[in-house]
């Protein structure tokens, strides 16, 4: 396997690098590169800039307004965007509900929702987890009762990332409580402005507000907002989770943070020697870098499968496990390298990032569950 870029791919890399540097505001890129909080306006602004250049859907086929890029170009774009400090593209629309609507939605839904994901007009949230229904997602209790041409939705979703910014949410709801739990679930698209929808913040350990509870009290959702068949939502949910797990790997962002780790570890300490000069610490950094290189190759394999219109298989679970472990390892090494500065005004975001990344091995299906999937689908256990 030749891992070197062709001349055309090198030219594409240079094009992406030049466009991002010239088009994304320098202050926005500085926030990303220094690990500072990126605002809603920064995120939407980044999406609109890319959309204006025809790059709003880097992983989408051309027929739905995407770039139609091959796997290598998708990888180059992800890595160059992360390295240059482009705000993270919102995965909930682009890499979760968007692919579901493309595969299982009807033509009207595709025309109605997909362009607004690309333009940044719709900010989507993911309504999956509930109290007591996280890893065992099929046990969810949020109920949707059919009332003519609409459903009445009642229940609670929790740990909903950035729901305070969202204007739409895709939800798994129970439409038939009398059948096997996986068989009675439907997939609804819900306007967050609908009466009866309430968003309540959950304050995290570092004082930030990233996740929320979302309550539904007699929320009327048109039947036309149901994706696919009634009670067929479990199939669509599994398809979405495979795309989510692929996205969680975050190869480009991890490569950027690895470089940041090396910069911090190269700074002189009180004894005049940088931490990177310590053989033990340098070996730990090298190990993470090797694992990241292997993850990148696996990511290319998954992207190649998606390009052939095949749903990601158990490789998505591998990406999720190793991707999150690498993210956590880098943040831990960064805390070690910064030492007491990690809690200072200068390095405070390092501590917040470290705490925040503890969740990555849990959401999107815990890493323990991913290992079960691999055992069952690859090893036949």
Active-site annotation, residues: 244
- 11-46 burial: b if 16+ Cβ within 10 Å, else e: ebbeebbebbeeebeeebbebbbebeebeeebbbbb
3-class SS string, 341-360:
HHHCCCCHHHHHHHHHHHHH
Q: What is the β-pairing status of strands 150-157 and 197-203?
A: unpaired
Per the CB < 8 A criterion, the answer to whether 96 and 240 are in contact is yes
Task: Render 128-188 in DSSP notation, one character per residue.
Answer: --BTTBSSSGGG---EEEEETTEEEEEEEE-S-TTTTT-SEEEEEEES-TTS-GGGSEEEE
Q: How far apart are CA 29 and CA 221, in angstroms?
A: 39
Question: How many CA within 13 A on the CB side of residue 222?
Answer: 4
Q: How far apart are CA 236 and CA 229, in angstroms?
A: 10
Give the list of residues 6+ apart from residue 309 with CB closer than 8 angstroms, or none.
Answer: none
Per the CB < 8 A criterion, the answer to whether 105 and 172 are in contact is no
């Amino acid at each position: 396997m030749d891992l070197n870029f062709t001349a055309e791919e090198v030219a594409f890399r240079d094009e992406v690098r030049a466009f991002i540097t010239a088009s994304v505001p320098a202050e926005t890129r500085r926030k990303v590169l220094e690990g500072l909080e990126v605002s809603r306006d920064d995120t939407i602004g980044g999406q609109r800039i890319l959309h204006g250049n025809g790059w709003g859907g880097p992983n989408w086929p051309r027929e739905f307004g995407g770039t139609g890029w091959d796997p290598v170009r998708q990888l180059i774009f992800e890595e160059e965007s992360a390295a240059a400090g482009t705000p993270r593209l919102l995965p909930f629309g682009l890499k979760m509900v968007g692919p579901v609507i493309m595969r299982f939605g009807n033509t009207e839904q595709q025309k109605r929702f997909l362009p607004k994901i690309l333009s940044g007009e719709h900010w989507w949230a993911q309504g999956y987890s509930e109290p007591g229904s996280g890893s065992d997602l099929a046990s969810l209790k949020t109920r949707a009762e059919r009332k003519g041409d609409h459903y009445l939705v009642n229940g609670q979703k929790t740990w909903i990332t950035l729901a305070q910014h969202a204007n739409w949410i895709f939800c798994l709801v129970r439409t038939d409580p009398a059948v096997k739990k996986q068989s009675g679930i439907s997939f609804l698209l819900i306007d967050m402005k609908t009466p009866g929808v309430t968003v309540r913040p959950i304050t995290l350990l570092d004082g930030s507000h990233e996740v929320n509870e979302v309550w539904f009290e007699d929320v009327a959702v048109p039947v036309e907002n149901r994706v696919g068949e009634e009670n067929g939502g479990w199939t669509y949910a599994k398809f979405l989770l495979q795309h989510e797990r692929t996205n969680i790997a975050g190869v480009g962002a991890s490569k950027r943070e690895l470089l940041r780790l090396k910069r911090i570890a190269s700074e002189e300490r009180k004894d005049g020697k940088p931490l990177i000069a310590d053989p033990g610490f340098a070996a730990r950094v090298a190990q993470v870098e090797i694992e990241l290189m292997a993850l990148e190759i696996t990511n290319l394999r998954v992207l190649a499968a998606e390009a052939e219109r095949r749903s990601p298989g158990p490789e998505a679970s591998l990406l999720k496990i190793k991707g999150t472990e690498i993210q956590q390892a880098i943040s831990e090494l960064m805390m070690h390298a910064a030492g007491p500065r990690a809690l200072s005004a200068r390095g405070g975001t390092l501590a917040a990032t470290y705490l925040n990344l503890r969740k990555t091995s849990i959401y999107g299906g815990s890493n323990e569950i991913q290992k079960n999937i691999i055992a069952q689908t690859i090893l036949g256990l």
